[in-house]
């Protein structure tokens, strides 16, 4: 069940520029996805899919691969508010997830499992989607391999078809963010004007 309570329990919104947010109205089409590159204690990528009015979220340590042969570990984390899809900036040291975050890719996605609700797909541990992003496109899958809910382990897979390319390596050759134009390295420099967020 989509829920923002864990997200809010983990954060002090007097200290972090992250949005407190609110649950949106569940939709079945025009669904949002975002991938954020997060230079926290351990650098990783966060995949977020709009499901049931929130962003269902997974931490992907090695990031997505366009090679269908790759199997990328994805660890489910707490649901995030839809407003988080616009967040880019610096989370203060000492706060949960402290570090710099950029919006690496975003767009819309659709469910490839006709007749099955996305919340059911997540609960059942099998997600098949078509991404229409600025960097990632085509069919992708998430498969749960162990556990339930937060901290459960999944695999992120690029399926054959549109966007599949074993030679492309988008993490290496397309590192720039799709919103600000500022690289992660630029944002990692000591802040002079405080933290920054992005909104549409």
Greater pLDDT, 30 or 182 = 30
Query: In terms of pLDDT, which residue wins out, 139 or 174?
Result: 139
- Residue 200 domain-assigned (yes or no): no
Q: What is the mean pLDDT of the chain?
A: 91
Residue 88 falls within a domain, yes or no?
yes
What are the pLDDT digits (tens) for 169-183?
Answer: 999 988 889 987 777
Question: pLDDT band for position 200 (50/70/90)?
Answer: very low
Q: Does residue 192 belong to any structural domain of this protein?
A: no
pLDDT at 29: 87
Which pLDDT score, from 0 to 100, does residue 28 have? 85
Tell me how far CA of residue 195 lies from CA of 16, 19, 93, 96, in angstroms. Answer: 8, 12, 11, 15
81-90 per-position pLDDT tens digit = 999 999 998 9
The span from the first CA to the last CA of the chain, in angstroms, equals: 27
Whether the Cβ atoms of residue 97 and residue 36 lie closer than 8 Å to each other: no
Confidence band (pLDDT; 50, 70, 90) for 191? Answer: low
At residue 147, what are phi and psi to the nearest 5 degrees? 85, 180
- Whether residue 197 is contained in a domain is answered as no
The phi and psi torsions of 116 (rounded to 5 degrees) equal -120, 125
pTM surpassing 0.85? yes
Q: Is residue 198, in this structure, part of any structural domain at all?
A: no
Encode pLDDT of 31-80 as tens digits.
Answer: 999 999 999 999 999 999 999 999 999 999 999 999 999 999 999 999 99
List the domain range (segments joined by +) for residue 96.
5-187
Domain count, the chain: 1
In a domain, 199, yes or no: no
Tell whether 194 is covered by a domain: no
The answer to whether residue 183 is domain-embedded is yes
């Amino acid at each position: 069940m989509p829920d923002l309570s864990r997200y809010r329990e983990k954060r002090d919104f007097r200290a972090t520029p992250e949005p407190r947010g609110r649950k949106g109205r569940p939709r079945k089409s025009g669904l949002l996805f975002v991938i954020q590159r997060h230079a926290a204690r351990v650098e990783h990528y966060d995949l977020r899919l709009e499901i049931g009015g929130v962003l269902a979220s997974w931490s992907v340590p090695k990031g997505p691969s366009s090679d269908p042969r790759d199997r990328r570990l994805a660890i489910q984390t707490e649901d995030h508010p839809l407003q988080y899809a616009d967040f880019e900036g610096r989370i203060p040291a000492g706060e949960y997830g402290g570090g710099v975050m950029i919006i690496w890719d975003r767009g819309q996605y659709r469910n490839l499992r006709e007749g099955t609700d996305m919340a059911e797909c997540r609960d059942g541990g099998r997600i098949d989607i078509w991404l229409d992003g600025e960097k990632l496109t085509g069919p992708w899958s998430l498969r749960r391999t162990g556990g339930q809910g937060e901290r459960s382990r999944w695999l992120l897979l690029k399926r054959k078809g549109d966007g599949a390319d074993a030679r492309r390596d988008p993490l290496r050759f397309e590192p720039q963010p799709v919103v600000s134009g500022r690289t992660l390295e630029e944002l990692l420099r000591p802040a002079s004007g405080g933290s920054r967020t992005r909104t549409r």
